[in-house]
DNA sequence: GTTGAAACGACACACCG
DNA sequence: CGGTGTGTCGTTTCAAC
């Protein structure tokens, strides 16, 4: 990461795109009070520097037949790490996996078509260590962007 | 939820958009082997029916000055629910909050500029109940779309 | 970063299977 | 009814400043 600083306009671009990735360059330009080509070059830079990682569409997995969301915690034996990482990447049901502090060292977020499918998955990963599963009942804060122009945030 | 079925083309549209939300209708049309207007009407339907929820840009929060990611579990007293939900929605650091099975009934995913900021947050929410915090060290599966045209998935 | 022109893509309509 | 094809309009891109 080079010694570089985002200005107000970059921040406006990024936070606007977070909320609507399909907005046109022209509209972005109007919002930022600069020209469309200027937005375009800034976008390219933001992408090249890895600040913008990708553009995703969020889907209602429930409607699409994946009603089961779960957090699976896994106490991963250090010796199994090299086997575990490629494996967990290969499972299409898994949308994120983080190594965390605490006795359960991996937190896996995943979606399934049924509790039976979830159960199969859990049985499978138990070869890597002890697991704890928490199935999601309801979601009060749906996956959303981090607030970059902070109103109500902690410092 | 009407008695409606996604066909192969809808699935192709959705899974393509998941990976690149800024793709043009024309490219989508080429990929799906149909015309651009046809893609356009399908997109509108998918949005109207809530299968496509929104288009987000994923950002490297680390580079932007939020290096701390954490999962905070909260044992929420039922009587505090009505206070908790509006509050947790208002915190810009929180990107998701799920009600789950198990003794810690809420799982909060959040980002912070520092461990001190995280600490302030935790101290604050402890008025709602006991908490357990797991800070993310490293991420082996970065937030990614669910695999809809499944290769390696559990049934 | 801005402007303007040219290339490109998106949208609305009438037409065809 | 849903897909295709044309025309118009808006958007992106490139060159010159």
A65 close to B (CB below 8 A): no
One digit per residue, the tens of pLDDT, for chain A of length 155 reads 445 678 999 999 999 999 999 999 999 999 999 999 999 999 999 999 999 999 999 999 999 999 999 999 999 998 999 999 999 999 999 999 999 999 989 999 999 999 999 999 999 999 999 999 999 999 999 999 999 976 678 98
Alpha carbon separation from B137 to A43, A64, A76, B69 (Å, rounded):
29, 32, 14, 8
Q: Hey, what's the torsion of the CAs at B7, B47, B97, A115, to 10 degrees?
A: -20
What pLDDT, on a 0 to 100 scale, did the predictor assign at position A3? 52
State the SS3 of B15-60. Answer: HHHHHCCCCCHHHHHHHHCCCHHHHHHHHHHHHHCCCEEEEEEEEC
Note the strand D nucleotides within 7 A of protein beta carbons.
2-6, 10-15
Q: Distance (Å, rounded) from C-alpha A21 to C-alpha B22?
A: 6
Nucleotide nearest to B37 (CA to C1'): C11
H-helix segments, B65-106 = 81-90
Q: Are B153 and A92 in contact (CB under 8 A)?
A: yes
B81 close to A (CB below 8 A): no
Q: Are B91 and A152 in contact (CB under 8 A)?
A: yes
Domains in chain A, start-ordered, CATH in brackets?
A: 8-49 (1.10.10), 61-135 (3.30.70.920)
Structure tokens at B151: 């290769």
Strand partners, B112: B68
Q: Decide if B64 and A100 are in contact by the 8 Å CB cutoff.
A: no
For A22, the closest chain B residue by CA position comes to B22
Nucleotide nearest to A10 (CA to C1'): C1
Q: Are A128 and A92 in contact (CB under 8 A)?
A: no
SS3 A97: strand
Structure tokens at B49: 């029916």
Considering CB atoms only, which of A61, A140, A141 is closest to B146? A61
What pLDDT, on a 0 to 100 scale, did the predictor assign at position B151? 65
Structure tokens at B90: 């208002």
B115 close to A (CB below 8 A): no
Nucleotide nearest to B33 (CA to C1'): D3
CA atoms within 13 A on the CB side of A155: 4
Structure tokens at A7: 């200005």
What pLDDT, on a 0 to 100 scale, did the predictor assign at position B6? 84
Q: Decide if A97 and B139 are in contact by the 8 Å CB cutoff.
A: yes
Q: Distance (Å, rounded) from C-alpha A83 to C-alpha A128?
A: 9
A36 CA, C4 C1': separation in Å? 13
Considering CB atoms only, which of B6, B143, B152 is closest to A90? B152
Instruction: For residue B26, say whether its CB is under 7 Å from any atom of strand C.
Output: yes
Provide CB contacts within 8 A for B97, sequence distance 6+: A139, A140, A141, B88, B106, B107, B108, B109
Instruction: For residue A38, say whether its CB is under 7 Å from any atom of strand C.
Output: yes
What pLDDT, on a 0 to 100 scale, did the predictor assign at position B4? 64
Low-confidence ranges of chain B (pLDDT < 70): 1-4, 150-151
Place of tokens 């049901």: A93
- Can you state the angle between helices A25-32 and A36-48, rounded to 10 degrees? 100
Contacts of B92 in chain A (CB under 8 A): 146-147, 150-153
Provide CB contacts within 8 A for A23, sequence distance 6+: A16, A17
B40 CA, C10 C1': separation in Å? 9
Angle at the Cα of B108 (from B81 to B104), degrees rounded to 5?
65
Which 2-31 residues of chain B touch chain A by CB within 8 A? 6, 14, 17-22
Q: Are A62 and B146 in contact (CB under 8 A)?
A: no
Using only C-alpha atoms, chain B has a radius of gyration, in whole angstroms, of: 20
Note the strand C nucleotides within 7 A of protein beta carbons.
1-4, 9-13
Measured over the CA atoms of residue B92, residue A146, residue B109 and residue B55, the dihedral's sign is positive
Contacts of A52 in chain B (CB under 8 A): 57-60
H-helix segments, A3-140 = 8-19, 25-32, 36-48, 81-90, 115-125
């Amino acid at each position: 990461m080079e010694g570089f600083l985002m200005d107000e306009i970059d921040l406006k671009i990024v936070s606007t795109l977070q909320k609507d990735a399909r907005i046109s360059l022209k509209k972005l330009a109007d919002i930022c009070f600069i020209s469309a080509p200027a937005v375009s070059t800034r976008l390219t830079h933001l992408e090249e520097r890895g600040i913008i990682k990708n553009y995703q569409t969020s889907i209602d997995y429930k409607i699409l037949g994946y009603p089961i969301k779960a957090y699976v915690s896994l106490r991963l034996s250090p010796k199994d790490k090299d086997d575990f990482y490629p494996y967990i990447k290969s499972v299409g049901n898994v949308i994120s996996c983080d190594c965390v502090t605490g006795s359960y060292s991996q937190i896996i977020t995943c979606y399934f078509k049924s509790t039976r499918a979830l159960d199969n998955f859990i049985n499978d990963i138990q070869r890597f260590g002890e697991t704890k599963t928490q199935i999601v009942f309801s979601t009060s804060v749906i996956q959303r962007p981090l607030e970059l122009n902070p109103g109500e945030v902690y410092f």
